[in-house]
Amino acid sequence: MKECFLDGTLCHIDFVGNVGSEINSVHLGVLYHLPGIDNLALCIPLTSPKMKHFKSEKDYNERNYLQTKHFSWQYLKQTDSIALLEQTKSISINRIKNYYENQDGKIVVLDKHTQDLLREKLISYFEKVLYKKKKR
C-alpha cells in the first residue's frame, strides 16, 4: 500500500508530465503526509549534486551544505542529493514508483537531524517567497 509510509521516506517518483525547468522523469523524492488527505503527499524532489548547486568547486567536492548557491537548494548528506525546495509540490500517491531501499533492503527514511535541517530550510524558503518585499 503506497500510502503507508513514514514522513521523510525516500521514494522513486514519476515526475513525467512536468514542463520547462521542472524536474522530469523518475527521480527520488522525500515524502510527507498531508493531514486529512489520503491520496496526496507533499513531495520534495531530489537530484544528484552538481557543480552548479555549490558556490565553488571545493564546496562541491566537500559537499559543503552551507555553501549551496541558491537558498532553494539543500544538500542532504544521508542520500548525497540536492533537495529542490523550489519544486516542492503535492503529488498523487499514484506517482510513487517504489520505495528507495538501502543495500540491506530496508526502506530509507531521512534521519531526524536531516529532516530538521530540511524543515528549517523549507520554512525559510517559503518565508522568503511569501514575505518578499515589493520593489518600489
118, 74 Cβ separation under 8 angstroms: yes
Domain regions of the chain by residue span: 9-130
Which pLDDT belongs to residue 6? 93
Which pLDDT belongs to residue 107? 93
Per-residue pLDDT at 131 exceeds 90: no
What is 39-50 written as a DSSP string? EEEEEEEEE---
Q: Say which CATH topology domain 9-130 has.
A: Thiol Ester Dehydrase; Chain A (3.10.129)
| pLDDT-derived band at 3, boundaries 50, 70, 90 | low
Which pLDDT belongs to residue 80? 86
- What cell does 27 get? 527521480
Average predicted confidence (pLDDT) for the chain? 87
Question: What share of the chain in percent tops pLDDT 90?
Answer: 41
Q: What is the pLDDT of residues 42-56, one digit of tens each?
A: 999 998 888 888 888
User: Exposure pattern of 64-85 as b/e (b: 16+ CB <10 Å)?
Assistant: ebeebeeebbbbbeebebbbbb
- What cell does 104 get? 540491506
Q: What is the pLDDT of residues 81-110, one digit of tens each?
A: 888 998 999 999 999 999 999 889 999 999
Q: Which whole number is the average pLDDT over 67-94?
A: 87
Which pLDDT belongs to residue 33? 92
The counts of H helices and E strands in the chain are 2, 7
